[in-house]
Amino acid sequence: MYLISSHEMLKDAQRRGYAVPAFNIHNLETVQVVARTAARMRSPVILAGTPGTYRHAGVEYLVSICQAAAHEYRIPLVLHLDHHEDEQDIHNKVEAGIRSAMIDASHFPFEENIEKVRSVVTYCHRMGASVEAELGLLGGQEDDLIVDAANAKFTDPLKAAEFVRRTGIDSLAVAIGTAHGLYKEEPRLDFARLAAIREQVDIPLVLHGASGVPEADVRRCIELGICKVNVATELKIAFADAMKAFLGSHPDASDPRQYLVPAMAAMEEVVEAKIRMCMSDNKI
């Protein structure tokens, strides 16, 4: 099985009123958990890696592991480039077999953002890869991408329409009040802004920073046009907490085939809950 683009997957979600969950993965075990849970629940799924993840695991390793998972579970799998900023880096990874990319030029001025995104779209579409880009600027921290709350910027609906038209992207990441990482207080999402963006833009919309967002709010976002929901932090915490608890109660444990098992089980519970939240189960 080969790795597919997210274009058709997100269009199906848009047509049928659910969202595809995009889970950040880091290594063999995290890919296994996401793929096997998605297969068990018959959910389309996107495996997302930041530049830091690809540096950690190696591009060839991640591509091969994800291909093996698609083959083993017989489900369509997207391996995605999350928050990539370097065009050449995107080219290299598409050449290695990845067919879904986010070019994040959201911190550049509008015209520069358009120019950088359009160039990536031209290349990726020629290669059969889909492209996501962001307009506005999400707060919080994801790897070495840090935006403090004062610099976060919400997406302007009219600019979003122009951005989509002039770049030719397949999906648009919106900034409506979510942030990467943990929230200090409950996020307040700007649903009216999301509805206004939806009125202007007809491609699938993407919600970043879904960890810690109440399920009812995510569901509302899906009703208002969100077709892809990104989750990273909650998975990492579940995995790490279960591993810490196991090692705390088994101080002599040294076998990864033992201490990784409860970590994977804890992560699986979160993946399952997020698939239900996205209403993507039983869609393949």
* Residues annotated in a binding site for Zn(2+): 83, 104, 134, 180, 208
By C-beta, is 216 or 257 nearer to ligand 13P? 216
Q: Of these, 106, 130, 230, 280, which contacts ligand 13P (CB under 6 A)?
A: 230
Residue 208 binds ligand 13P (CB under 6 A): yes
Active-site position among 82, 156, 170, 217: 82
Q: Of these, 135, 232, 243, 266, which contacts ligand 13P (CB under 6 A)?
A: 232
Least Å distance, CB 234 to ligand 13P, is 6
Q: What residues numbered 100-129 form the site for ligand 13P, per CB under 6 A?
A: none
Q: Of these, 63, 210, 222, 242, which contacts ligand 13P (CB under 6 A)?
A: 210
Rounded to whole angstroms, the Cα distance separating 212 from 267 reads 15
By C-beta, is 52 or 168 nearer to ligand 13P? 52
Token digits of residue 183: 């929230």
Residue 157 binds ligand 13P (CB under 6 A): no
Q: Pattern of binders to ligand 13P over 8-47, x per CB under 6 A?
A: ----------------x-----------------------
Specify binding-site residues for dihydroxyacetone phosphate: 181, 209-211, 230-233
- CA distance readout (Å), 76 to 4, 44, 70, 124, 137: 7, 7, 6, 19, 31
Strand ranges for the chain from DSSP E: 20-24, 45-49, 77-84, 100-103, 130-135, 139-142, 145-147, 171-174, 179-180, 205-207, 226-231
Rounded to whole angstroms, the Cα distance separating 105 from 135 reads 8
Q: Is 190 a catalytic residue?
A: no
Q: How many residues belong to the site for ligand 13P (CB under 6 A)?
A: 14
Residue 134 binds ligand 13P (CB under 6 A): no
Choices 66-74, 150-158, 231-239, 259-267 (CB under 6 A): range interacting with ligand 13P = 231-239
Q: Is residue 278 a contact partner of residue 229, using CB atoms and an 8 Å limit?
A: yes
Q: Of these, 7, 26, 93, 180, which contacts ligand 13P (CB under 6 A)?
A: 180
Rounded to whole angstroms, the Cα distance separating 107 from 138 reads 10
Phi/psi at 184 (5° precision): -80, -35
Least Å distance, CB 255 to ligand 13P, is 29
Angle at 241 between CA 237 and CA 245, to 5 degrees: 175
Residue 82 binds ligand 13P (CB under 6 A): yes
Q: Of 64, 73, 65, which is closest to residue 35 (Cα–Cα)?
A: 73
Q: Of 26, 85, 24, which is closest to residue 209 (Cα–Cα)?
A: 24
Choices 57-65, 158-166, 202-210, 270-278 (CB under 6 A): range interacting with ligand 13P = 202-210
DSSP label of 128 = T
Rounded to whole angstroms, the Cα distance separating 204 from 15 reads 10
Residues near ligand 13P, by CB under 6 A:
24, 82-83, 142, 180-181, 208-211, 230-233
Catalytic residue numbers read 82
